[in-house]
Amino acid sequence: MDWNLILASAHHLAVFTLVMLFAAEFTLLRTGLSGARIGQLARIDAAYGGVAGLVIVIGILRVIFGGVDPMYYLGNHAFWGKMGAFAIMGLLTIQPTIAIRRWVKAGEGVLEFAPPAGEIAASRRFIHLQAGVLLLIPIFAAAMARGYGS
């Protein structure tokens, strides 16, 4: 069985799923958010966190069992740039996640609860920053795949 192919495929599918969930969150988190959309956003945000964890687990398995010497990754600056960008994305998602959970709680039993526009704008700033950092990840990945950073 070709574990390198299986792990690479699983990693890419998880990353594409992560980007799709990020795009959905980016789209929903905007002025006018209210009612049932808040619950939908909360479910997407939870899935985003879960898939991010899956990306990390599969990535670790890829480093250990992927058919390339783990030292290639561990000694590669592009790899660490990619890991750093992913960690920054994780940190940038904390504020929106806390805000979304707060809105779900505040909206319990209120049919058309709408978060304050200022809170939505603050969370959107974090989402926009995440989008900027996300652009770095495939750049680092492409550099690493071509032998840069060693």
pLDDT digits (tens, 9 = 90+) for 1-54: 788 999 999 999 999 999 999 999 999 999 999 989 999 999 999 999 999 999
150 located within any domain? no
pTM assigned to the model: 0.91
Residue 30 sits in a domain of what CATH number? 1.20.120
Tell me the C-alpha distance between 69 and 63, whole Å: 8
Instruction: Please report whether residue 87 resides in a domain.
Output: yes
- Cα 94-99-100 angle, rounded to 5 deg: 100
Residue 65 domain-assigned (yes or no): yes
In a domain? residue 8? yes
Measured in Å, how far apart are the chain's first and last C-alpha atoms? 29
pLDDT, tens digit, 9 for 90 and up, residues 51-100 = 999 999 999 999 999 888 999 999 999 999 999 999 999 999 999 999 99
Query: Domain range holding 128?
Result: 3-145
| Dist CA 69 CA 95 (whole Å) | 37
Q: How many domains does the chain have?
A: 1
